[in-house]
């Protein structure tokens, strides 16, 4: 009987953890941005918004995810997580809440935010040592015009 209880517990745990909302890989040159409708093509940029129900919205630039959020297409209470591509590791999604952002006009992102996201501060500093730019916070970017 104890073995059956353990089996049921483990089964339920895995079922619930498998259902957790999570980001999906962006298929570059195949998928369109859910905001501007342009093809997502540069693997150094991109972002995703994941809802509590597991729906994933994909974007080609941080500018687009910002616009999408400003239009309240998905209410903030329904947002599970936000993700961005790590500029130093193309195609790798990192959670926005633990990311570092660099604004630099030389970055030239697809829709003109000119912001690169980095998973670790050292990567941002390494990039900034070869070009100028200002580190910004996510909230600062969201509140900018």
Question: Would you give the DSSP letter of residue 20?
Answer: S
pTM, to two decimals? 0.85
Q: Is residue 11 part of a domain?
A: no
Q: CA torsion angle for 89, 76, 70, 125 (degrees, to 10)?
A: -30
Among candidate residues 30, 96, 29, the one with its CA nearest the CA of residue 62: 96
Q: Is residue 7 part of a domain?
A: no
pLDDT in tens, 17-59: 557 999 999 999 999 999 999 999 999 999 999 999 999 999 9
- Domain boundaries, position 139: 22-143
Structurally, the chain folds into a number of domains equal to 1
Among candidate residues 143, 145, 124, 144, the one with its CA nearest the CA of residue 135: 124
Q: Is 67 helix (H, G, I), strand (E, B) or coil?
A: helix
Q: How far apart are CA 89 and CA 43, in angstroms?
A: 9
pLDDT in tens, 55-112: 999 999 999 999 999 999 999 999 999 999 999 999 999 999 999 999 998 889 999 9
């Amino acid at each position: 009987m104890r073995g059956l209880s353990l089996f049921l517990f483990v089964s339920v745990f895995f079922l619930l953890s498998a259902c957790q909302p999570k980001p999906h890989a962006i298929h570059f040159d195949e998928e369109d941005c859910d905001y501007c409708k342009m093809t997502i093509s540069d693997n150094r940029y991109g972002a995703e918004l994941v809802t509590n129900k597991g729906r994933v919205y994909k974007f080609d630039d941080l500018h687009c995810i910002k616009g999408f959020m400003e239009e309240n297409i998905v209410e903030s209470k329904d947002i599970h997580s936000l993700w961005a591509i790590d500029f130093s590791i193309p195609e790798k999604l990192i959670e926005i809440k633990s990311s570092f952002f660099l604004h630099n006009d030389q970055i030239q992102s697809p829709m003109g935010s000119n912001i690169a996201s980095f998973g670790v501060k050292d990567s941002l500093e390494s990039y900034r040592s070869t070009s100028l730019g200002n580190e910004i916070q996510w909230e600062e970017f969201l509140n900018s015009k």
